Amino acid sequence: MSASVIDFVATEARFGAHNYEPIGVVLSRGEGVWVWDTEGNRYLDCLSAYSAVSQGHCHPKILAAMVEQAHRLTLTSRAFHNDQLAPFYEEIAALTGSHKVLPMNSGAEAVESAIKSVRKWGYEVKGVPDGQAEIIVCANNFHGRTLGIVGFSTDPDTRTHFGPFAPGFKIIPFGDATALAEAITPNTVAFLVEPIQGEAGVILPPAGYFAEVRELCTTNNVMLVLDEIQTGLGRTGKLLAEQHEGIEADVTLLGKALSGGFYPVSAVLSNNDVLGTLRPGQHGSTFGGNPLACAVARAALRVLTEEGMIENAARQGARFLEGLKDIRANTIREVRGRGLMLAVELHPEAGRARRYCEALQSKGILAKDTHEQTIRIAPPLVITSDEVDWALERLATTLTQDFS
């Protein structure tokens, strides 16, 4: 690392809370699938800010929409109407087939808002006695970092010494429909689950799991809340990951790529009267639904569909997965994924995934390790076949090295 890079890193370490452990690269520019560091080195971004930059870095049309809107009007609060919110509602509802929309900012806020809404629905529509609502979640979930959410995490790092936590959550294994059937009681209002567990290391559900989940939720009048903050908006090769399962959620959570990486925008989408229980004054957000966010989100959704990014994710994801499967390296335990949400899990003897990510960095690829043994690969959805092949060559040479 050069002196200037060491400076940036040291200054961050001196003043910043140490709640991240970044790879030693200082980025200063991005375009499409590529990012550049302060020295001018170019990297293929295989993280996409945890899938928030699915449309590619600094997409020109989202940028133009953002700049144009920033010149006109940025924030009104919801005390007044603005001329971007209604078209945003219309467009996202038409695209996803939802009836109601609640705009928020971060993904965690969308999750919190969904929890509040399904509880209220439970008391006011389902008839659960006040204060008794139960929500079922899965082990190894990741839904964000607020107190409400980390209280039902099973990851010790995420939870330890942040309690006491709110009651009302039951944890079951992911991918086990029998466990769900056994956990449901008359007080169960919702099952909150990721279609593919992202932060857990790209864990796919067993075939048929979600069809059974849908059936159980419908039979027991339990709201199925799918957290598609990471899987949604084309990442898995379909608009929503639920489409791979042939089901429809009652409540869908979107965030991350909803703004193409320009600005925090999230949304709760519902198919029924869950969001209808919220009355004026009962929930809100100063920035939620602001005109700048809506203009950015509208452009982010438009380019996603108009530029064929979802189809490209399916096509390039299949190519990438095939290529990963063809790599003969005894460091690899498993490769898995759907669309451009991919992971390479290493054998425990291969050494920490972090070492491989650092080796990839020196070859011009930025990827992120998760849970010691897994390298996740999630480039922007605009990646080309040539770029996939370029990445595969470098992954192959890196994964045949031994860092144990």
Site mask, ligand PLP, residues 80-109, x = CB under 6 A?
A: --------------------------xxx-
Residues 6+ apart with CB under 8 A from 283: 102, 113, 116, 117
If the CB atoms of residues 113 and 271 are measured against ligand PLP, the closer one turns out to be 113
Range in contact with ligand PLP (rule: CB under 6 A) among 33-41, 167-175, 222-230, 380-388? 222-230
From residue 42, give the alpha-carbon distance in Å to each of 39, 365, 368.
9, 9, 17
Q: Which of residues 176-215 bind ligand PLP (CB under 6 A)?
A: 194, 198
CB of 255 to ligand PLP, least distance (A): 5
Q: Which of residues 240-269 bind ligand PLP (CB under 6 A)?
A: 255-256
15 is annotated as an active-site residue: no
- DSSP states of 370-382 as a string? ETTTEEEE---TT
Please report where in the chains the tokens 């095939």 appear, as a residue.
322
Residues 6+ apart with CB under 8 A from 15: none
Half-sphere exposure of 64 (CA within 13 A, CB side): 5
If the CB atoms of residues 108 and 350 are measured against ligand PLP, the closer one turns out to be 108
174 is annotated as an active-site residue: no
Range in contact with ligand PLP (rule: CB under 6 A) among 4-12, 184-192, 225-233, 314-322? 225-233
What phi, psi does 94 have (nearest 5°)?
-65, -45
Query: In the sheet that 251-254 helps form, which strands lie side by side, from edge to edge?
Result: 100-104, 266-270, 251-254, 223-227, 188-193, 134-138, 169-172
SS3 275: helix
If the CB atoms of residues 192 and 274 are measured against ligand PLP, the closer one turns out to be 192
| Position 49 contacts ligand PLP (CB under 6 A) | no
Q: Which of residues 123-162 bind ligand PLP (CB under 6 A)?
A: 142-144
> How many CB atoms sit inside 10 A of residue 139's CB?
17
CB of 110 to ligand PLP, least distance (A): 8
| Position 310 contacts ligand PLP (CB under 6 A) | no
| Position 112 contacts ligand PLP (CB under 6 A) | no
| Position 36 contacts ligand PLP (CB under 6 A) | no
61 is annotated as an active-site residue: no
If the CB atoms of residues 111 and 335 are measured against ligand PLP, the closer one turns out to be 111
Q: Quick one: the chain helix, strand, coil %, rounded to 5?
A: 40, 20, 40
Rg (CA), the chain: 21
Q: Pull the structure tokens for residue 356.
A: 């491989």
Residue in 142, 174, 210, 262 annotated catalytic? 142
Site mask, ligand PLP, residues 60-79, x = CB under 6 A?
A: --------------------
Burial tier of 199 (Cβ tally within 10 Å: 0-12, 13-18, 19+): buried
Residue in 120, 238, 256, 368 annotated catalytic? 256
Residue in 227, 320, 368, 369 annotated catalytic? 227
Instruction: In whole angstroms, give the CA distance from residue 19 to residue 42.
Output: 26
| Position 234 contacts ligand PLP (CB under 6 A) | no
Residues labelled catalytic: 142, 227, 256
Residues that bind ligand PLP in the complex, under the rule CB under 6 A: 50, 106-108, 111, 142-144, 194, 198, 227, 229-230, 255-256
